[in-house]
Amino acid sequence: MSKQNQWIAGINAVWSALQNDHEHVREVLIEAGAKNPRLLEIETQARRLAIDVRRVATQALDGASGGVRHQGAIARYVAAHTWSENELQGLVEGAEGRALLLILDGVQDPHNLGACLRSAAAAGVTAVVIPKDKSVQVNATVRKTSAGAADSIPVVQVTNLARSMKELQQLGVWLYGLAGDVGDPLYKLDLRGNVGLVLGGEADGLRRLTRETCDGLVSIPMPGAAGTGVESLNVSVAAGVTLFEAVRQRSST
């Protein structure tokens, strides 16, 4: 996994880092005078783990968090919990024929990526795959929005998304891209084996090469959309719908 120095902000993000990856937390800053019991829990847990804790002024938290709403807690973190693309094959093989991947093609909004990671963690995905370019990366805002999911599931950054998709297909993973009203309805698919669900970015959806690499294109039926001007779902909502359809199918086998 690649490493970098960063601050993570927010009660859930800091707590998750302490619970799931405390070896990479170097210090925790807590708002001086704060009485929130969850901040006290964070302080107690950090001290129990022998991590430096400092009480500082709100202005210091504002500056270190880079404008992210911190809720009175930030932590200096020295490892971005993202995975190398070379590890993707091992993750798929380790799922023993039931790999569930979420592949995001160019999601730009950190809040959307964080929400996608949160749904992915709840669905028990094998990994989330994102491109290194033309996509938001796992930053402080993503960590906060994901409510800890960024630390609990593999987030794999790849250099060439289409190439990585082809490699996944060679491993026996079927890739289905969501493309508006194109293709079969989602609920007709068999999502019980090795499956990758491919979603595009907020503005343009799936890029041409990504779309062409998919084994099939599918849509989410929206019977109430006619006449409302609603043409598509937000990417994080669509991710939740598709992932939990896979969960529903897999829970019945």
Question: Residue 38 is encoded by which pair of tokens?
Answer: 């969850």
Residue where a domain terminates, one of 26, 54, 77: 77
Rounded distance between C-alpha atoms, residue 182 and residue 64, angstroms: 45
Which string of b and e fits 90-113 if b means at least 16 CB within 10 Å? ebbeebeeebbbbbbbbbebbbbb
The angle formed by the CA atoms of residues 230, 243 and 247, to the nearest 5 degrees, is: 135
Kindly state whether residue 1 falls inside one of the protein's structural domains: no
Same domain, 14 and 88: no
What average pLDDT does the chain have? 88
* Residue-level pLDDT at 183: 75
Checking if the pLDDT of 82 tops 90, the result is no
Query: Is residue 232 within 8 Å of residue 199, measured between CB atoms?
Result: no
Residue where a domain terminates, one of 35, 57, 77: 77
Same domain, 242 and 137: yes
Report the amino acid identity of residue 213: T
Kindly state whether residue 216 falls inside one of the protein's structural domains: yes
Q: Across-strand partners of 53?
A: 28
* Domain range for 243: 82-251
Same domain, 60 and 110: no
Same domain, 142 and 196: yes
Same domain, 23 and 72: yes
Kindly state whether residue 36 falls inside one of the protein's structural domains: yes
Kindly state whether residue 100 falls inside one of the protein's structural domains: yes
**Is residue 200 marked as binding?**
yes
More confident: 7 or 46: 46
Same domain, 200 and 102: yes
Closest CA to 200 of 189, 192, 187, 212: 212
Same domain, 62 and 186: no
Write the pLDDT tens digit of every residue in 116-160.
999 999 999 999 999 988 888 887 678 777 877 777 889 999 999
Element (H or E) spanning 54, and its range?
strand 52-56
Query: Is residue 43 within 8 Å of residue 20, measured between CB atoms?
Result: no
* Residue-level pLDDT at 91: 96
Checking if the pLDDT of 34 tops 90, the result is no
The per-type count for the chain, helices as H runs and strands as E runs, is 10, 12
pLDDT classification of 223: cutoffs 50, 70, 90 = low
More confident: 218 or 146: 218
* Residue-level pLDDT at 202: 80
Same domain, 110 and 50: no
Same domain, 221 and 102: yes
Sheet with 216-219, edge to edge strand ranges: 82-83, 155-158, 127-131, 100-105, 195-200, 174-178, 216-219, 184-185
Query: Is residue 200 within 8 Å of residue 106, measured between CB atoms?
Result: yes
Percentage of residues in the chain having pLDDT higher than 70: 91
CB atoms within 10 A of CB 16: 23
Kindly state whether residue 143 falls inside one of the protein's structural domains: yes
Same domain, 135 and 237: yes
CATH (domain of 25):
3.30.1330.30
Total domains, the chain:
2
List alpha helices for 25-138, DSSP H: 37-48, 58-65, 88-94, 110-123
Residue that the structure tokens 């006449």 belong to: 227
- For the chain, state the CA radius of gyration: 19
* Residue-level pLDDT at 1: 44
Write the pLDDT tens digit of every residue in 97-108.
999 999 999 899
Which string of b and e fits 224-237 if b means at least 16 CB within 10 Å? eeeeeeeebbebbe
Same domain, 105 and 140: yes
**Is residue 233 marked as binding?**
yes
Average pLDDT over residues 55-84: 83
Same domain, 36 and 93: no
Residue where a domain terminates, one of 77, 107, 138: 77
* Residue-level pLDDT at 2: 44
Write the pLDDT tens digit of every residue in 47-64.
999 999 999 999 999 888
Kindly state whether residue 201 falls inside one of the protein's structural domains: yes
Q: What is the value of pTM for the model shown? A: 0.75
Rounded distance between C-alpha atoms, residue 246 and residue 187, angstroms: 9
Kindly state whether residue 28 falls inside one of the protein's structural domains: yes
* Residue-level pLDDT at 169: 98
